[in-house]
Amino acid sequence: MSVEAGDLAIRARGLTRVFGTLVAVDHVDLSVPRGMVYGFLGPNGSGKSTTLRMLCGLLTPTSGEVNVLGLRIPEQAEALKKRIGYMTQKFSLYEDLTVLENLQFLAAIHDLPRAVAKMRIAEAIERYHFGDRQKQLAGTLSGGQKQRLSLAGSVLHEPELLLLDEPTSAVDPESRRDFWARLFELADTGTTLLVSTHYMDEAERCHRLAILQNGRLVADDTPAALCAALPGRVWCVRSTATRAAEAALRQHPQVLGVAQIGTDLRVLAQPMLDEATLRSFLPDGDATQIDTIAPNLEDVFVAATRGDEARAA
């Protein structure tokens, strides 16, 4: 992707963080255009949170160069604080304050003028549906309501960049859908969003996606382009003995992943594997239907994180 440096909200080169003998983030290069919803997908321990903390200046890189909103990080991290928002996985507001008091406190922290603070708090209460809960203690809110309050507080100062670290991990599917609708509203106004997640359906929503594994960046493109890079590698296997077929397929190194979907098996394979070879892996006498199917993001994730040597073939 060719983007001028001035159009980038984030530019990182060789970003690395080492804790003792653990390389938590390993020479990661990132280019995040302004106004984009950019996703970090990866399992726990893949380096997502550590990367986010370095990008916003909370953690000093062991090595590498970072530029965020035109500022050198961590050297100019203090100047960056006023221009970004940061939302963590854990609810971090005051549970013994009301919804309104939390927002008033955050407005004061960001040093918003009294008239501006009053206007933005009123807008946030309406936009995030707290009209009838202004006086409710934050600690008594549901998981989805706490999430909305955290988001409202994170954008009260109208940041240019919002970083969200697995923000929907503890809420129900309906709250997650509503939350993502709010994120796209922010993107429509020009806010850049960097969202870490381990949910495939959330990753598919992003404009662009980076997949992290063991601290390394193993894929970086649009979800559609990442899926399109795996043609002819995903098979649907319909067997008369599903469990036996699954066990047999898992024994072969050319098979990267097998998942049972209903009564069918979804099989991700290396690109050189053809139908005849795949069929030969199955138990003798197994009456099986085998068809190629379109890859999805879960297939991309499995291929990338398993270090498929033939990925570029």
pLDDT in tens, 261-273: 999 999 999 988 9
Q: Whole-model pTM? A: 0.86
Tokens of 189: 């106004």
pLDDT score, position 313: 39
pLDDT(138) > 70: yes
Mean pLDDT of 288-313: 77
Mean pLDDT of 81-94: 88
Can you tell me the distance from the alpha carbon of 204 to that of 264, in angstroms, rounded to the nearest whole number? 23
Q: What is the CATH number of domain 231-294?
A: 3.30.70.100
Mean pLDDT of 36-50: 91
**33/90: higher pLDDT:** 33
pLDDT(28) > 60: yes
Q: Do domains 34-57+76-223 and 231-294 have the same CATH topology?
A: no
Mean pLDDT of 200-219: 93
| Residue range 170-194, pLDDT digits in tens | 778 888 888 899 999 999 999 999 9
Q: Can you give the C-alpha Rg of the chain in angstroms?
A: 23
pLDDT(12) > 60: yes
The angle that helices 143-154 and 173-188 make with each other, rounded to 10 degrees, is 10
Q: How confident is the model at residue 68 (pLDDT cuts 50, 70, 90)?
A: very high
pLDDT(169) > 90: no
pLDDT score, position 1: 47
Q: Tokens 């992943």 map to which residue? A: 257
pLDDT score, position 6: 63
pLDDT score, position 4: 54
pLDDT score, position 65: 96
- Please, what is the average pLDDT of the chain? 90
pLDDT score, position 308: 42
Domain boundaries, the chain: 34-57+76-223, 231-294
Regarding the domain with residue range 34-57+76-223, which homologous superfamily does it belong to in the CATH classification? P-loop containing nucleotide triphosphate hydrolases (3.40.50.300)
